Amino acid sequence: MISLIPYQKFEIKTQLGQEATRQKLATIVEPRKRRWGWSRSHLPFEGEIKGDEFEISRIIHYNNNFLPILDGCVQDDLNASSLRITARLTLLGMIMWPLFLIGPVFVANFIFVDELSFFSWTIVPFILFFYGVSTILFNWELNKAKKILNEQLEVDKYSLL
């Protein structure tokens, strides 16, 4: 499901126990560090895991300010476990998203006070374009992260979410 804002809560259920899920998660997450573009030897995610809680993001080799940060926790679910995850923007993305959506309105209001038709034909499409691009980029990266988590945690053997 595609969210209309770059924020989403979801749950991944796996047949692995709580401890096994934490260990499996630790095998696909490495600590955050500065990376060089040519380095390809790394795990799929970077971040930190503290007990049952984690904050991770996918390691990518291109610039995307709308890369989701996955905050979550591992919870016991009888003979299985579940990951309750909140996907959100980075701090830079959280600052950029509303500025680019609302900023042009304020600028255009001061420059084109009496020209409503110019405003609607230039600024509104810009806002809709930026909203669409940012939301699509966020959801595209989130779907990639979900796919990796589902594969690594053997979700397809238990349930499809």
pLDDT tens string 86-95: 999 888 877 8
pLDDT tens string 37-68: 667 778 999 999 999 999 999 998 888 888 99
CA 17 and chain centroid, separation: 25
Q: Which helix (H) or strand (E) holds 11?
A: strand 7-14
Instruction: Please state whether the predicted TM-score (pTM) of the whole model is above 0.85.
Output: no
Domain ranges of the chain: 7-157
Q: Which helix (H) or strand (E) holds 17?
A: none
Pair 108, 130: CB distance under 8 Å: no
Report the distance separating Cα 120 and Cα 122, nearest Å: 6
Pairing mode of beta strands 45-50, 29-30: parallel
pLDDT interval class at 160 (50, 70, 90): very low
Main-chain dihedrals φ then ψ at residue 13, nearest 5 degrees: -105, 140
Query: From the CB of residue 15, how many other CB atoms can be counted at a distance below 10 Å?
Result: 16
What radius of gyration do the chain's Cα atoms show? Answer: 20
Report the distance separating Cα 13 and Cα 158, nearest Å: 8
If we measure between CA atoms, which residue out of 84, 72, 88 comes closest to residue 13?
A: 84
pLDDT tens string 105-147: 676 666 665 665 665 666 777 778 888 888 888 999 999 999 9
